[in-house]
Amino acid sequence: MTRRVLVLNGPNLGRLGSREPDVYGATSYAGLVDACQSLGKELGFDVDVRETNDEGEMIRWLHEAADGSIPVVINPGAFTHYSYGMRDAAAQRTAPLIEVHISNPYAREEFRHTSVIAAVASGTIAGFGIGSYLLALRALAGEPTG
Protein backbone atom coordinates (compact mmCIF):
# COMPACT_ATOMS: atom_id res chain seq x y z
CA MET A 1 0.00 0.00 0.00
CA THR A 2 1.35 3.42 -0.90
CA ARG A 3 1.22 6.25 1.56
CA ARG A 4 -0.07 9.61 0.43
CA VAL A 5 2.19 12.65 0.81
CA LEU A 6 1.26 16.25 0.06
CA VAL A 7 3.96 18.51 -1.40
CA LEU A 8 2.60 22.02 -0.95
CA ASN A 9 4.04 25.12 -2.62
CA GLY A 10 3.25 28.74 -1.85
CA PRO A 11 3.25 31.89 -3.93
CA ASN A 12 5.28 32.26 -7.11
CA LEU A 13 6.62 28.70 -7.03
CA GLY A 14 4.52 27.82 -10.07
CA ARG A 15 6.90 30.13 -11.96
CA LEU A 16 9.96 28.00 -11.34
CA GLY A 17 12.27 27.91 -14.32
CA SER A 18 11.46 31.48 -15.33
CA ARG A 19 11.51 33.14 -11.91
CA GLU A 20 14.99 34.35 -10.91
CA PRO A 21 16.85 31.27 -12.20
CA ASP A 22 20.05 32.53 -10.53
CA VAL A 23 18.28 32.05 -7.17
CA TYR A 24 15.77 29.26 -7.85
CA GLY A 25 17.50 27.29 -10.62
CA ALA A 26 16.43 26.34 -14.12
CA THR A 27 14.09 23.46 -13.23
CA SER A 28 10.50 24.27 -14.20
CA TYR A 29 7.53 23.69 -11.91
CA ALA A 30 6.61 20.69 -14.11
CA GLY A 31 10.15 19.40 -13.53
CA LEU A 32 9.68 19.75 -9.78
CA VAL A 33 6.40 17.84 -9.95
CA ASP A 34 8.00 15.07 -12.02
CA ALA A 35 11.01 14.79 -9.69
CA CYS A 36 8.85 14.58 -6.56
CA GLN A 37 6.41 12.08 -8.05
CA SER A 38 9.18 9.88 -9.51
CA LEU A 39 11.13 9.68 -6.26
CA GLY A 40 7.89 9.28 -4.32
CA LYS A 41 6.97 6.27 -6.41
CA GLU A 42 10.40 4.71 -5.71
CA LEU A 43 9.84 5.31 -1.99
CA GLY A 44 6.30 3.88 -1.99
CA PHE A 45 4.52 7.24 -1.77
CA ASP A 46 1.62 8.63 -3.75
CA VAL A 47 2.87 12.22 -4.02
CA ASP A 48 0.30 14.96 -4.65
CA VAL A 49 2.14 18.18 -5.61
CA ARG A 50 0.15 21.42 -5.35
CA GLU A 51 0.88 25.14 -5.75
CA THR A 52 -1.14 28.18 -4.74
CA ASN A 53 -0.78 31.92 -4.49
CA ASP A 54 -3.71 31.94 -2.03
CA GLU A 55 -3.04 31.79 1.70
CA GLY A 56 -6.53 30.49 2.49
CA GLU A 57 -6.18 27.61 0.04
CA MET A 58 -2.86 26.61 1.62
CA ILE A 59 -4.47 26.65 5.07
CA ARG A 60 -7.31 24.42 3.81
CA TRP A 61 -4.73 21.97 2.41
CA LEU A 62 -2.97 21.88 5.78
CA HIS A 63 -6.32 21.14 7.46
CA GLU A 64 -6.87 18.31 4.94
CA ALA A 65 -3.45 16.88 5.85
CA ALA A 66 -4.13 17.15 9.59
CA ASP A 67 -7.57 15.54 9.26
CA GLY A 68 -6.15 12.67 7.19
CA SER A 69 -2.83 12.23 9.05
CA ILE A 70 -1.07 12.91 5.73
CA PRO A 71 2.66 13.79 5.81
CA VAL A 72 3.50 17.16 4.26
CA VAL A 73 6.50 18.65 2.50
CA ILE A 74 5.86 22.39 2.36
CA ASN A 75 7.60 25.28 0.69
CA PRO A 76 5.50 28.17 1.99
CA GLY A 77 7.34 30.71 -0.21
CA ALA A 78 6.80 34.24 1.07
CA PHE A 79 4.16 32.97 3.51
CA THR A 80 7.11 31.55 5.49
CA HIS A 81 7.89 34.92 6.98
CA TYR A 82 4.53 36.26 8.12
CA SER A 83 1.57 33.87 7.81
CA TYR A 84 0.51 33.16 11.37
CA GLY A 85 -2.69 31.58 10.04
CA MET A 86 -0.59 29.08 8.10
CA ARG A 87 1.63 28.53 11.13
CA ASP A 88 -1.43 27.75 13.25
CA ALA A 89 -2.73 25.33 10.60
CA ALA A 90 0.68 23.62 10.40
CA ALA A 91 0.72 23.31 14.20
CA GLN A 92 -2.36 21.07 13.95
CA ARG A 93 -0.38 18.45 12.02
CA THR A 94 -0.96 14.80 12.87
CA ALA A 95 1.90 13.47 10.71
CA PRO A 96 5.39 14.76 9.89
CA LEU A 97 5.61 18.17 8.22
CA ILE A 98 8.92 19.19 6.65
CA GLU A 99 9.54 22.79 5.62
CA VAL A 100 11.70 23.14 2.50
CA HIS A 101 13.29 26.02 0.63
CA ILE A 102 15.08 25.95 -2.69
CA SER A 103 17.51 28.70 -1.72
CA ASN A 104 19.15 29.26 1.66
CA PRO A 105 17.02 31.96 3.31
CA TYR A 106 19.85 32.86 5.70
CA ALA A 107 22.10 33.81 2.76
CA ARG A 108 19.49 36.25 1.46
CA GLU A 109 17.69 39.40 2.62
CA GLU A 110 17.24 39.76 6.36
CA PHE A 111 13.42 39.51 6.23
CA ARG A 112 13.86 35.95 4.89
CA HIS A 113 15.77 34.88 8.02
CA THR A 114 12.55 34.42 10.02
CA SER A 115 10.24 31.45 9.52
CA VAL A 116 6.99 31.33 11.46
CA ILE A 117 6.55 27.73 10.24
CA ALA A 118 9.87 26.27 11.45
CA ALA A 119 8.89 26.05 15.12
CA VAL A 120 5.94 23.75 14.33
CA ALA A 121 7.63 21.70 11.58
CA SER A 122 9.30 18.33 12.09
CA GLY A 123 12.36 19.80 10.37
CA THR A 124 13.59 22.25 7.76
CA ILE A 125 15.70 21.57 4.66
CA ALA A 126 16.99 24.56 2.70
CA GLY A 127 19.56 25.59 0.15
CA PHE A 128 19.78 22.44 -1.99
CA GLY A 129 17.66 23.61 -4.91
CA ILE A 130 14.99 21.14 -6.00
CA GLY A 131 17.04 18.59 -4.04
CA SER A 132 15.58 20.08 -0.84
CA TYR A 133 12.25 18.44 -1.74
CA LEU A 134 13.91 15.12 -2.54
CA LEU A 135 15.80 15.14 0.76
CA ALA A 136 12.50 15.80 2.53
CA LEU A 137 10.80 12.87 0.80
CA ARG A 138 13.74 10.62 1.73
CA ALA A 139 13.45 11.81 5.35
CA LEU A 140 9.73 10.91 5.36
CA ALA A 141 10.67 7.45 4.10
CA GLY A 142 13.18 7.09 6.93
CA GLU A 143 16.17 7.01 4.58
CA PRO A 144 19.44 8.59 5.60
CA THR A 145 19.73 12.04 4.01
CA GLY A 146 23.37 12.78 4.55
Which structural domains are found in the chain, ordered by start?
3-140 (3.40.50.9100)
Helix axes 29-43, 131-140, angle to 10 degrees: 20
Over range 71-93, report the average pLDDT.
92
Question: Would you say the pTM of this structure is higher than 0.85?
Answer: yes
**Amino acid symbol at 2:** T
Over range 31-46, report the average pLDDT.
96
112 annotated as ligand-binding = yes
- Does residue 24 carry a catalytic annotation? yes
CA 109/CA 113 separation, integer angstroms: 7
Angle 56-140-89 (CA atoms, 0-180°, nearest 5)? 20
9 annotated as ligand-binding = no
Local structure of 101: helix, strand or coil: strand
From residue 130, give the alpha-carbon distance in Å to each of 15, 31, 56, 127. 13, 9, 25, 9
Catalytic residue among 29, 63, 84, 101: 101
- Does residue 133 carry a catalytic annotation? no
